[in-house]
Each structure stands twice: as C-alpha cells, then as structure tokens.
Amino acid sequence: MSLERKDIISAKQFSREELEYILNWAIKIENDKGNYAKSMQGTIMATLFYEPSTRTRLSFESAMHRLGGTVIGFSSSSVSSVKKGETLADTIRTVAHYSDLIVLRHNNDGAATFAARCTEIPVINAGSGSGEHPTQSLLDLLTIQQECGKIDGLNIGLIGDLKFGRTVHSLTYLLANYDINLFLISPHSLKMQNRVMDYIQGKGNVKIKETTNFIEALPKLDVIYMTRIQKERFPDPEEYESVKDTFKFEKEYLDLLKPNAKIMHPLPRVNEISSQVDDSPHAIYFKQTYYGLMMRKAIIGLVMGVFK
Ligand code: NCD
C-alpha cells in the first residue's frame, strides 16, 4: 500500500485498509519521534490558505518543521497576487515550481480537485468551502481510536451544522467504513446533505439516526462531536441568527453522559461548549489538536513517499 505522490482531496478516497495504515503510521512516528526528526530534510511544503485558519495551517507547518522540512506560503489571499486577480490555476502552477507539496484551503468546494489537476506535485485539501476537510477527519478518526480504544461498535453523535460543516461531511465518509451507530443531530434546516447520506447508506455499514433532540441523544453517545454553526456559509444572516445558539453543551449535561463518553470539537468553538466543561475528563477537544499534529506528520511523509 502506498500514498506516495497521491493527492488527498476527499475522505471518500480511502478504504478501511488504507485508513488503518495511515493511523498506524501516525502512532509509529509519535512513538519514535527522534528517529523521524530529519525525515523531510530538503523538502519544501507550500501552505496556500485563502480562508482563515489557526490549527490546520499551524499544525501542518509545525509537522513539517518537526520532520526537518521547510515551509513557504500565505495565510490570507489578500497578501498574495490573488488580490491582483490571479487565478487559482496560475498560482498553483507557479507554486509547484517552488515546493514539493501544496496544502490548500479555499472557499470553493471544488478548489482542491481543480488545483490537483493543475500540477503533478501532491495537493492536500485543507478545507474546501462547505464541501470537505479530509485531514481533519483523519485526525478525528485517530482521536476516536486512541481515546475510545476502538471505532467499531461505538455510538457517535455529530452535532450542530451538518449542512455547511465540511468536517462532519468528511468524518461521515470515513466512518462509513466502520460498523457504528451514527446519530446526526441538527436543527431541521441544517440537516446532513443528501449526497453525504446517499454515500453512507450505499456503504451499508452504519446505522443512522437523524434527530433534532440533542439532550435525549446525549446519554447514548460514546462520542459527542460538537461543531460550530458555519456563519460565513449562510446566504441569509437572519437564518444564521435563528439557529446560532441551538445546541450548547452546558456543564450540567456532563451528568447525562456515559462514564467514558468523549466530547470532541474540530475548533474553533464559538458558543457550542461552555468553557466550564473544559476541565472535565470527558472533554478531549484540546487533546484532539495534538492528534492533528501527529496525523499531519504522517500525511506529509506518506504522500512524499518517505514513510514506507
Ligand atoms: C474547521 C474548518 O475550518 O472547517 N476548523 C478546523 O479546521 N479545525 C471547523 C470550523 O471552522 O468550524
């Protein structure tokens, strides 16, 4: 099995076998950090971020530095020639001469697919509009496996903006490879999109329950995956106002949880989880950001063909 020279565009591209392979690599590198500290020496990664980011960009960059490689890029399109009207295609063709792999975040759903067609070097989708965020879902899967000790058999709840949230789209695609019970919990207007539902139903492994009742579902869940309502994707600001505070995890809800239940969030959180929950042993959303570093090290080394 090899991911060498492959683009990472969609969580749909991975088989269960490949997922196990990637997760095993992330753990292997973590357990032997010193040995991998120079793996990427001489390799340049470009991070092209047309949308805001804290964790995704910095964890990719930190991962590359920790593997001995170097990083170029921009963190806002306003400081690049995009501001002058340059197309994505022209930017990608140019940056491909300056780097060995490209990590791209863009506001268009199809941007990563398009960018990958413009160059021979690997392109990694770091978030494409409200479409997908495959590397976030890989780190989420790693977090679930490591913190729950397994993936099969779990009751996993995805809560919040399932319509516009790209992290939950990609995570659903990955979870389609496992025998789990998936609780899709959202306001009616922010339900999971049909194309994602069709995919997961087609795979046939997952039992799905859609509900608007957050509190009722909580005692059943092993994983509570909270998400932010994606304000920037709403065509109508009034519609955002009407749903923005639908689900908030309050401190008193901790009493409803199974003893080993884990609360996750891709972050940034706005209002979805009270800060009073942060000290609970159920809360693993900051630990989850560390799994992000582990996963991105694995992804970089695997697509560059140095981990094999
Ligand atoms: C997410 C994103 O950008 O899609 N953040 C992240 O990458 N961890 C989630 C969000 O913005 O709500």
Q: Which atom of ligand 1 is nearest the CA belonging to 51?
A: 3
Q: How far apart are CA 228 and CA 165, in angstroms?
A: 8
pLDDT at 127 over 90: yes
Task: Please state, rounded to an integer, the average pLDDT across all residues of the chain.
Answer: 96
Name the percent of the chain in helix, strand, coil, to the closest 5.
45, 15, 35
Q: Is the pTM of this model over 0.95?
A: yes
- Residue 245 banded pLDDT, cuts 50, 70, 90: confident
Per DSSP, 233 falls in state G
Give the model's pLDDT for residue 142: 98
Q: How far apart are CA 70 and CA 41, in angstroms?
A: 8
Neighbours of 84 (CB within 10 A): 6
Instruction: Note whether 280 and 255 are within 8 A (CB).
Output: no
User: Phi, psi at residue 184, to the nearest 5°?
Assistant: -100, 110
Which residue is it, tokens 């608007």? 212
Q: Which atom of ligand 1 is nearest the CA belonging to 230?
A: 12
Q: How far apart are CA 261 and CA 222, in angstroms?
A: 4
Give the model's pLDDT for residue 79: 79
Q: What is the pLDDT of residues 274-285, one digit of tens each?
A: 999 999 999 999
Ligand 1 touching residue 55 (CB < 6 A): yes
* For range 80-91, the mean pLDDT: 88
Q: What is the pLDDT of residues 186-197, one digit of tens each?
A: 999 999 999 999
Which among 174, 122, 189 has a CA at the least distance from the CA of 144?
174
* Percentage above 70 pLDDT, the chain: 100
Which residues make Cβ contacts (< 8 Å) with residue 50, sequence separation at least 6?
A: 76, 77, 82, 104, 105, 106, 107, 111
Instruction: Note whether 279 and 233 are within 8 A (CB).
Output: no
Both structure tokens of 307: 């981990």
Q: What is the pLDDT of residues 4-61, one digit of tens each?
A: 999 999 999 999 999 999 999 999 999 999 999 999 999 999 999 999 999 999 999 9
Instruction: Note whether 186 and 159 are within 8 A (CB).
Output: yes
Which residue is it, tokens 């960059």? 61
Sheet strands side by side (includes 181-185) = 207-211, 181-185, 155-159, 223-226, 262-264
Helix (H, G, I), strand (E, B) or coil at 143: helix
Radius of gyration of the CA atoms of the chain, in A: 19
Which of 75, 138, 267 gets mutated to test ligand 1 (max ligand atoms within 8 A of its CB)? Answer: 267
Give the model's pLDDT for residue 154: 98
- Residue 179 banded pLDDT, cuts 50, 70, 90: very high
Instruction: Note whether 178 and 144 are within 8 A (CB).
Output: no
Q: What is the pLDDT of residues 182-221, one digit of tens each?
A: 999 999 999 999 999 999 999 999 999 999 999 999 999 9
Ligand 1 touching residue 133 (CB < 6 A): yes
Both structure tokens of 242: 């009407």
Q: How far is CA 216 from the centre of its chain?
A: 27
Both structure tokens of 18: 């490949």
pLDDT at 1 over 90: no
Which residue is it, tokens 């990590």? 103
Q: How far apart are CA 41 and CA 67, in angstroms?
A: 7
Q: How far apart are CA 267 and CA 157, in angstroms?
A: 16
* Percentage above 90 pLDDT, the chain: 94
Both structure tokens of 29: 């590198």
176 CA to middle of ligand 1, Å?
A: 21
Give the model's pLDDT for residue 81: 84
pLDDT at 149 over 90: yes
Taken in order of first residue, the domains within the chain and their CATH numbers are 11-133+292-303 (3.40.50.1370), 134-289 (3.40.50.1370)
Residue whose CA is closest, atom 11 of ligand 1? 268
Both structure tokens of 117: 């067609």
Which of 56, 170, 286 gets mutated to test ligand 1 (max ligand atoms within 8 A of its CB)? Answer: 56
The answer to whether the Cα torsion of 229, 235, 240, 242 is positive or negative is: negative
pLDDT at 80 over 90: no
